[in-house]
Amino acid sequence: MRRNREECAALDAADPLAAMRQEFTLPEGVLYLDGNSLGALPSGTPARVARMIEHEWGHGLIRSWNDAGWYGLPARLGDRLAPMLGAAPGQVVVCDSTSVNLFKVLGAALRLRPGRRTVLAERVAFPTDLYITEGVTSLFDGARSVLLPSAADLDAHLGEDVAAVVLSHVDYRTGELLDMAAVTERVHRAGALMIWDVCHTAGALPISFDDCDVDFAVGCGYKYLNGGPGAPAFLYAAERHQGEARQPLSGWFGHARPFAFEPGYEPTGGIRRFLTGTPPLLGMAALDASLDVWEKVDLAAVRAKSLALTSLFMDLVEPLGLEVVTPRTEELRGSQVAVRHEDGYAVVQALIERGVIGDFRAPDLIRFGFTPLYLSYVDVWEAARHLREVLESGEWRDERFARRSDVT
């Protein structure tokens, strides 16, 4: 159903999440539809980071490793994040980057499946997943990575040599959502381990790692979770694997007795064995502040509004002649909408000049991310209006919009 602006305003008036917008600092005159790349700033984050800098670091100095609880922060943040991921306590830890964490869990998975040497990944996955998979398999004698044309081709490749499968819960380009439970069950039937990348679903919709019997997962803190640029990532390791799993980056924070300063490595028990080096505490303070916001909301309500916002946007852009590549079927859709345009980069730049911030993914995809905690229905209506005007006026053809920046 194509709605007008007044109808969208009425939806905002009845929106149970409308009050959450005040939890974020957003610039005037900006419609921010890029929270699937970098989330907005929670209003409590500056004070939380300042407290760590001025008091915990400035006054407490090194004593804050104990007095302010710095040492246990990776596991404590993991336990705060765990309910959003459908995980029991002790299975999530916040640390490092998504790439580093994928390296760790993939190395652990290969060791848990001796005699199997194939890792399956999707050719169209976010490239870092493919690069890390290629790097890890090169370190294991006889191991190899096989790239699937798409996740739909998984069953044809699930042979007896497959040790692990790495898939993104949501396709970063199209926004297509995979059925976590069904895919994991098929992988397990073949005797392999399942690793999920949930960068584009953590904070966007309910996830159920434990109920889906997931083995390992990784995700970032800076997209829908609003942890800030370069925020620490997280990893999930099912409790059943923690006793035997050995991850390859055996740094001192994962040691059983890190302050014994012993020359040999002995992994600690539980999820902390997936830690490596000293945690980035300032980034963790920012993520900690963002979790204060998330503990106030119901992810089911977030998901309901996400689906409503994305459906509204697709209805509004349908008459513009753009190919919408994001699935219309709700259970197959994450929290973004992607459309094709052969000069998509220029169109995005023209929109940004108008204050509508989306992003571009080569070769021809324009992506719009929908973050229900701070986007309104009227925001979506206005964003679609600007897109229509940019296309109809042809203003995107101005040569300044075609000049590429380092980050696209």
Residues whose CB falls within 8 Å of the CB of residue 199, separated by 6 or more in sequence, listed in order: 98, 126, 168, 172, 218, 219, 220, 223
Give the model's pLDDT for residue 169: 98
Catalogue the E-assigned strands of 81-122.
92-94, 118-122
Q: What is the rounded average pLDDT of the residues 310-329?
A: 97
H or E element at residue 255:
none
pLDDT in tens, 131-159: 999 999 999 999 999 999 999 999 999 99
Q: Which of 24, 222, 345, 368 is catalytic?
A: 222
From the annotation, which residues make up the binding site? 98-99, 126-129, 197, 200, 222, 252, 278
CA-wise closest residue to 333 among 307, 361, 301: 307
Q: Which of 367, 368, 370, 401 is catalytic?
A: 367
Is residue 22 scored above 90 in pLDDT?
A: yes
CA 314 to chain centre: 22
pLDDT in tens, 217-258: 999 999 999 999 999 999 999 999 999 999 999 999 999 999
Q: pLDDT-based confidence at 82, cuts 50/70/90?
A: very high
Give the model's pLDDT for residue 334: 98
CA 325 to chain centre: 20
Give the model's pLDDT for residue 249: 98
Give the model's pLDDT for residue 2: 78
When the pLDDT of each residue in the chain is averaged and rounded to a whole number, the result is: 97
pLDDT in tens, 343-388: 999 999 999 999 999 999 999 999 999 999 999 999 999 999 999 9
> Residue 217 to residues 103, 109, 321, 331, 332: CA-CA distances in angstroms?
11, 11, 38, 21, 20
From the annotation, which residues make up the binding site for pyridoxal 5'-phosphate? 98-99, 126-129, 197, 200, 222, 252, 278
Would you say 197 and 170 are in contact if contact means Cβ atoms under 8 Å apart? Answer: no
Q: What is the pTM of this model?
A: 0.97
User: What CA–CA distance (Å, rounded) separates 128 from 134?
Assistant: 10
The percent of residues in the chain predicted with pLDDT above 70, rounded, is: 100
Q: Which two tokens stand for residue 259?
A: 């302050």
Is residue 107 scored above 90 in pLDDT?
A: yes
The yes-or-no answer on residue 367 being catalytic is yes
Give the model's pLDDT for residue 328: 96
Is residue 1 scored above 80 in pLDDT?
A: no
Give the model's pLDDT for residue 408: 82
Q: Which two tokens stand for residue 57?
A: 């670091």
Q: What is the rounded average pLDDT of the residues 42-62?
A: 98
Q: What are phi and psi of 230, to 5 degrees?
A: 70, 20
Q: What is the rounded average pLDDT of the residues 169-196?
A: 98
Is residue 275 scored above 90 in pLDDT?
A: yes
Q: Which of 34, 161, 197, 288 is catalytic?
A: 197
Q: What is the rounded average pLDDT of the residues 62-84?
A: 98
H or E element at residue 401:
none
The yes-or-no answer on residue 153 being catalytic is no
Q: Which two tokens stand for residue 324?
A: 């919408």
The yes-or-no answer on residue 222 being catalytic is yes
Q: pLDDT-based confidence at 260, cuts 50/70/90?
A: very high
User: What CA–CA distance (Å, rounded) separates 371 from 358?
Assistant: 12
> Residue 89 to residues 70, 77, 78, 243, 256: CA-CA distances in angstroms?
19, 11, 8, 16, 20
Question: What is the length of the chain?
Answer: 408
H or E element at residue 216:
strand 216-219
Is residue 189 scored above 80 in pLDDT?
A: yes
Q: What are phi and psi of 216, to 5 degrees?
A: -140, 155
Q: pLDDT-based confidence at 391, cuts 50/70/90?
A: very high
Q: Which of 24, 32, 126, 274 is catalytic?
A: 126
